[in-house]
Amino acid sequence: MVVFGGLLMTDAPKQAVGSQRQANDFTLAEAMARPQFWMLALIFFTVCMSGLYVIGVAKDIGEQYAALSFSIAANAVAVIAMANLGGRLVLGVLSDRMPRVRVVSLALLASIVGMAILLFTQMTMLNFYLALGCIAFSFGGTITVYPSLVSDFFGLNNLTKNYGVIYLGFGIGSLCGSMVAALLGSFSATFGVIFGLLALSLLLSLLVKAPTRGVQLA
């Protein structure tokens, strides 16, 4: 899959540099003053929380929640790795062919499907692997697309700062997943909270639009 993905890569087309400041070029302070920034931050936080939590305790979910054997639960590592890479390749390619925020919507939908399988279906080996695959696919693809999505919304000049703040959701999300699980004390309750956050994030991704302002001279 890595070799195949590498063969698809080409140099990005050269962009003509004009004398005008782009209409969507925002500093960090300007970006953080807009609701779109926090909507994107919440979406990123939610995807990271769901992905990192489920990936981190996948074997325990298989053994304790799904009542599967150790070998079946342990094989989840391979399923997660392949789905994670597949999400990066598939959603990365899609992000060059459709609006990136819609790609994130698709990723959220995949994660919702995976979480719904964990919550509302009888756990079998196939359902267990399918649920983990959907969540890992969503997580890997979102991580790949998000830097470009942030640049679409807030420009390239301050991307490292703008995305850097949003990327804090990666660490915060990983901590919150474990904290919610420890507080609620069960897999099903934790999955319910994550499912609700994913549904909210999907709604936000469908509503959010890039901020704009008049073009200014550089």
Which domain range does residue 82 map to? 27-206
pTM, two decimals, is 0.86
Whether 168 and 49 have beta carbons less than 8 Å apart is answered as no
Does 68 reside within a domain?
Answer: yes
Q: How far apart are CA 211 and CA 80, in angstroms?
A: 35
Two tokens, residue 86: 């597949």
pLDDT band at 22 (very low <50, low <70, confident <90, very high): low
Q: How far apart are CA 187 and CA 22, in angstroms?
A: 46
Phi, psi of 206 (to 5 degrees): -80, -20
Average pLDDT value for the chain = 90
Q: What is the pLDDT of residue 212?
A: 79
Q: What is the pLDDT of residues 129-182, one digit of tens each?
A: 999 999 999 999 999 999 999 999 999 889 999 999 999 999 999 999 999 999
Per the structure, the count of domains in the chain is: 1
Q: DSSP letter at 65? A: I
Q: List Cβ neighbours of 217 (8 Å cut-off, separation of 6 or more).
A: 19, 20, 21
Does 11 reside within a domain?
Answer: no
pLDDT > 90 in the chain, percent: 76
Does 12 reside within a domain?
Answer: no
Task: Indicate the helix (H) or strand (E) that contains 124.
Answer: none
- Residue range 63-89: mean pLDDT, rounded: 91
Q: What is the pLDDT of residue 206?
A: 96
Cα four-point dihedral sign 154, 159, 165, 168 = positive
Q: What is the pLDDT of residues 41-54, one digit of tens each?
A: 999 999 999 999 99
More confident residue, 184 or 24: 184
Q: What is the pLDDT of residue 216?
A: 46
Does 15 reside within a domain?
Answer: no
Does 38 reside within a domain?
Answer: yes
Q: What is the pLDDT of residue 128?
A: 94
Q: List Cβ neighbours of 13 (8 Å cut-off, separation of 6 or more).
A: none
Q: Which DSSP string do the residues of 95-113 spell out, in sequence order?
A: TTTS-HHHHHHHHHHHHHH
pLDDT band at 10 (very low <50, low <70, confident <90, very high): confident
Question: The domain that contains 185 carries what CATH number?
Answer: 1.20.1250.20
Does 142 reside within a domain?
Answer: yes
Determine which of 2-11, 21-30, 140-149, 151-160 has the lowest per-residue pLDDT on average: 21-30
